[in-house]
Structure 1
């Protein structure tokens, strides 16, 4: 791996600052390095720091192997050698047997072979198993996350560990340069972030939005909403593109079923409310209980929605997006399809329905890798829900 002129100490500093979430430009300024040098240094490793191979104290050293070779030539027994080296007799005897026996044991060649056996990483599991690799690549092409793929494989092949893999192993195969032959790295573009390398998680400071007349605080919301046992409670918000383009999203809390609403006319309250009302009226009455929304000005006429749909609307506290966390998480998933810099006006309602269909048919860990579509279908067919 190229060092791009960075000393070992500077490389350690780059990785430290990178883990703290500092930007490339900030890292380069702190080190007095040329522009783009830190970016290139990190990109070549996929954002994954390569750990140098180190010899464990449990393993025999080159010096100890030399002592074994000399002891064999002098006619010492395995126990004598072990006592002199302070090792277990079985360690010495296995070492000699593994490397040709007493007649063929040579310290130099044995040490080289041991180093080769201990080299890391070993061949990745996806490189060893073409059938597993094909399945993983096919699901990545469908925009499934590594966590969804890993969970789905455990369900599909519960008794076949050869056809199972962890989500971290998939990420490593995608980003670690030492595993580039394990999987098609272009599949990383189908991940939600679509980044060419891994990045540390950075906390983002939420921003508040305006005050709305006649609002009902989330503190007045029924207690049954919190435990998700009663279906029909929804969360919503806008997903913004290049202003003023946006779409509205609605997520059912129990099933995580998602609906996306086109807003071709704009994001003012008088433009959003009619389309949002129409979408909510398309939901069966027994699944129209409450709606929780952010304090955006687009919901200023919320009382009109309640009048039409008989759905009370509760608004989150300022700078508290976690109070509608199901919708926040869903909107983050949708960024894979609706990037921040995109003009969302170009997406028709049919386009958005297709995106929602794909998202609703991706398995979720929280549902033991069943899909939101399956969960919503159960709610629609539930006699308990119909009589609630």
Structure 2
């Protein structure tokens, strides 16, 4: 202290005020940051609890039970996505990303963080029926590995509604190609035949080659997708069912799409592998005629394509309704063979229908015979062209020989002057 000590006291007070201010600011900062941390922690816990709630609500516990009780090794390969991943992939489920909509949900085009293009199926609000279908689809597709069945990449249960992630199939549905009559790229007869054989092969796999028999239960042209090479991929296994090896049928409430529904199943509520065969028969009729499963005439009367098809077959008039886009470019005998297969698939008596294995074999045989005919025809055309060339060459050689003989004769004549007289130097 100097003098009377007033100056020292003032400095002390200032220092005290500064320290108090700093302590106060630090305290406020600690309080704010602590409150922020507490808020974020509570929000995180709230988010976790909400995700757990959605997980239970979306049947996660039931799904875990199904998967743990299964001995299928392929199930473990199904990836579990976070809701944030799929939100980002679909741009917040942007309406511009919608690929299609149906009774069970909406499908969006998405891109994962690694650049893989996928299709994300966002289910409708979960009811007991929808939930069962969702769990069923995950369980069944996790066990399947077949090139003509759409591949399930994973699922997400922590969102408000269940999400399924599939491989992206770029060329839409078979129905779109048959009905829009794309003049720029019509489905040729060869393509239709190949699609039919691939679809039949996939169903044959489900019925008799999978580890457990599986009935699809909703085969139709809108559930057959076409990849970048226009190969068939069966989709939508929400209503599918697997069976034990001892079961021959399922007794269920009637489900399916009008126009594709097996009449025998409709009457008895018993679904068999032959019910899938009937639905496939309708798809064959669509491939042959280019028409919908339910026809609407000018007076807005609705007709069943299957019944109409069978009637024309019985009257030997099948060529009357063959799709105009293929009518002039398909072998008539092949069309009749495929139509006969469809006719047998559409038999009202399920026991008289062929199995999918028999259908697949017959379609593949038709394709092989058709390819052999094409090769034979090409060989014959090539031989014909070769013969024409040889003939023309022989004629030319004769002409050249004759001309040479005539020239020799002319040159030997004494009264003919050379065209270019010899010069002597």
TM-score class normalised by the smaller sequence: under 0.3
| Greater fraction strand | 2
- Decide which structure has greater helix share: 2
Higher Rg: 2
